[in-house]
Amino acid sequence: MKESTNWIHVIVLAVVFLAAFSYTFDSKLAMLGDNASYYMLGKAIAQGEGYVNISSIAKRPNNHYPPGYPLIISGIMLFTDNLVPIKIATGLLGLAGLLVFYFLALRLLKDEIMALGITLLAILNAHALWYSSLIMSEVPFLCFSVMAVFFFTKTNQERFSFKDKYVWLALACLIIAYYIRSLGVALMGGFVLALLFKKNWKSIAIYVGVFAAAIAPWFIRGSNLGGSSYIRQLKMINPYQPALGQAELGDFIDRFFENFSRYVTKELPDAVFPVFEPNYGQEATGGQWLAGFLLLAIMIFGVIKLKDHLWLVVGYLLGTFAILMLWPQVWIGVRFIVAIVPFLILLLINGLFHAVKLVAKKSSEKVVSGALMTFFLLFQFSAISDIHNQAKEKYSAGWKNYFEIAEWLDNNVKEETVVACGKPSLFFLHANKYTLRYKFANPDELLTHLEERQVDYVVIDQVYGNTLRYLLPAVRQYPERFQQVHHLPNPDTYLLKFKR
For residue 178, the cross-strand partners are none
Clarify whether residues 438 and 317 are in a common domain. Answer: no
Q: What is the largest CA-CA distance in the chain?
A: 81
* Strand-strand pairing, 493-498 and 434-436: unpaired
Mean pLDDT of 470-489: 95
Residue 380's nearest CA partner among 276, 298, 493 is 276
* Residue 99 banded pLDDT, cuts 50, 70, 90: very high
| Residue 277: predicted pLDDT | 77
Count how many domains the chain has.
2
Note whether 349 and 379 are same-domain residues. Answer: yes
| Cα(221)–Cα(212) distance, integer angstroms | 14
Let me know if residue 73 belongs to a domain. Answer: no
Using a 10 angstrom Cβ sphere, with 0-12 exposed, 13-18 middle and 19 or more buried, the burial of residue 126 is buried
Based on the fold, state whether residues 259 and 373 are members of the same structural domain.
yes
- Residues spanned by the domain of 164: 3-31+82-391
Predicted TM-score of the model (pTM): 0.91
Final residue before a domain boundary, out of 391, 410, 437: 391
Report if residue 115 sits inside a domain.
yes
Per-residue model confidence as pLDDT tens digits over 431-475? 999 999 999 999 999 999 999 999 999 999 999 989 999 999 999
The pLDDT of residue 72:
97
- Domain identity same for 162 and 15: yes
| Arithmetic mean of pLDDT, 379-385 | 86
User: Would you give the DSSP letter of residue 441?
Assistant: S
| Residue 4 confidence (pLDDT) | 62
Let me know if residue 339 belongs to a domain.
Answer: yes
Q: What is the mean pLDDT of residues 277-283?
A: 81
Amino acid symbol at 24: T
Pair (428, 444) in one structural domain: yes
- Residue 77 lies inside a defined structural domain of this protein: no
For residue 40, being part of any structural domain is answered with: no
Domain boundary among 361, 391, 421: 391
In whole angstroms, what is the distance from residue 299 CA to residue 199 CA?
A: 27
Question: Do 243 and 221 have their domain in common?
Answer: yes
Cβ(401)–Cβ(144) under 8 Å?
A: no
Is 36 part of any domain? Answer: no
Average pLDDT in the 173-180 region? 97
Task: Name the percent of the chain in helix, strand, coil, to the closest 5.
Answer: 65, 5, 30
* % of the chain beyond a pLDDT of 70: 97
Based on the fold, state whether residues 294 and 371 are members of the same structural domain: yes
Closest CA to 46 of 84, 92, 79, 85: 79
pLDDT in tens, 389-423: 999 999 999 999 999 999 999 999 888 899 999 99
Q: What is the predicted pLDDT for the residue at 456?
A: 95
Per-residue pLDDT reduced to its tens digit, 5-53: 788 999 999 999 999 999 999 999 888 878 999 999 999 999 999 999 9
Residues 244, 135 share a domain: yes
Which pLDDT score is estimated for 363? 53
Is 196 a domain residue? yes
403 in the same domain as 387: no
Q: Judge if 342 and 486 occupy the same domain.
A: no
Q: Is the pLDDT of residue 225 over 80?
A: yes
| Same domain membership, residue 263 and residue 401 | no
Beta strands in 407-455 (DSSP E): 418-420, 434-436
Same domain, 421 and 313: no
| 58 found inside a domain | no
pLDDT value at position 191?
96
The residue type at 336: F
Indicate the burial class of 139 (C-beta count within 10 angstroms; 0-12, 13-18, 19 or more): buried
Rg (CA), the chain: 24
Domain boundary among 374, 391, 408: 391
Which range in 59-63, 175-179, 240-244, 255-259 is most confidently predicted, on average pLDDT? 175-179
